[in-house]
Structure 1
Amino acid sequence: MTNIPTAADLLRKSLDTFLAKDMKGWADLCAEDVVAEFPFAPEGSPARIEGKTALYDYLRGYPDAIDIASLPTLKVYTTDDANVAIAEWSASGKVLSNGNPYEMRYATFVTFRDGLIVSYREYWNPQAFMTAMSGASFDG
């Protein structure tokens, strides 16, 4: 009997791939028609990206900008839909250009089809992101 990975397993694998800084490997976990949404993206950053190639183009430079050293917290939730998993997680690292700490919490909603990501929606704090990237203070 073959163990078929659950949506929760697949979501954990995507986060492991992200932590390994393998953006090509992460994109390969996505379907060609994937849609990624970042509803709280700061001005100038895309709030929606359509397609595997476009998503890889968006992500590929991420490890050159931010060095994520660990994911200190991770809770993965299953849903009534076997193809959907939700994660609450955090990333800890530093911004390479300015040495600022990067500490971010996320809520991620992921839908899979045939073992591949077809919908990825991620919520995070754009003020904390802009502070880390720019060095401005944040009282948040």
Structure 2
Amino acid sequence: MTVEANRDLFVTMLNALGRKDYDTFEACLADDILLEWPFPVMDGFPTEHRGARWFREALETSWVDFDPYAYQIEAIHMLTDPGTLVAEYSSHSRYLPTSTPYSNRYVSVVDIANGRIVRWREYVNPSIVAAILGQKAVWKESSGATVGLE
């Protein structure tokens, strides 16, 4: 794929995620995508995980208490390898239980192959997540399926 096609894939994926269009979002990901969060967003949250279906189900469960995310892309940097990009973006939403605005900033390193995202390493500010969900937010999973937040 071309640099432009890879950039478009990332934009399509992020926009679908923001709208909670999980079908389009998941279609942009390789089935065995490697997801990485070097700075876990809460206790128990994995630093890495594999699988588009797992990620979709985790988001469908954990984002139920949020309005759709309005993502704003500040920059997409294409690297020497046309299959890798670095994206800087922000999200803007509302945490419904308290009607609190939620905004965060992200930097992601994304690898793309055969028209799908195969690796997504996301750097997000976990202290902003804790401020919205509470300092004692805990990620819970049971039998490999996400249950939600405690």
Aligned to 2:143: none
Flag the 1:135–1:72 CA change in 2: closer, same or farther, 3 A: farther
Code of the aligned partner of 1:24: D
Cα offset, 1:66, TM superposition: 1.9
Runs (4 or more) in structure 1 with deviation over 4 Å come to none
Deviation at 1:4, TM superposition (A): 8.4
TM-score, normalisation: structure 2: 0.80
Residue in structure 1 matched with residue 141 of structure 2 by the alignment: none
- What do the CA deviations read for 1:51-74 (whole angstroms, capped 9, x no partner)? 222222222224412224422443
Instruction: For 1:28 and 1:13, locate their aligned partners in 2 and report how far apart those are by CA, in whole Å.
Output: 10
Structure 2 runs not aligned, ≥5 long: 137-150
Distance in 1, Cα, partners of 2:25 & 2:35 = 13
Distance 2:134 2:95 in 1: 9
1:109 Cα shift?
1.0
Following TM superposition, by how much is the alpha carbon of 1:29 offset from its aligned partner in structure 2, in angstroms?
A: 1.0
Deviates more, 1:112-121 or 1:35-44: 35-44
In structure 1, runs of 5+ residues without a counterpart are none
Which whole-Å CA distance do the structure 1 matches of 2:130 and 2:80 have between them? 35
Structure-2 change in CA distance of 1:43 and 1:86 (3 Å): same
What is the percentage of aligned positions where both structures have the same residue?
25
Is the 8 Å Cα contact of residues 70 and 92 (structure 2) preserved in structure 1?
A: yes
2:24 is aligned to: 25
1:6 is matched with: 5
Give the aligned partner of residue 109 of structure 1: 109
Q: Which is richer in strand?
A: 2
What is the aligned partner in structure 2 of residue 66 from structure 1? 66
Q: What aligned pairs does 1:1-140 form with structure 2 within 5 A after superposition?
A: 5-41=4-40, 42-134=42-134
C-alpha separation in 1, matches of 2:20 and 2:64: 9
Distance 1:73 1:82 in 2: 19
Aligned residues: 134
Residue type of the alignment partner of 2:120: Y
Structure 1 residues 69 and 116: CA distance shift in structure 2, 3 A: closer
**Is residue 92–residue 104 contact of structure 1 (8 Å, CA) maintained in 2?**
yes
CA displacement 1:79-101 (0-9 Å, x = unmatched):
11111111100001111222111
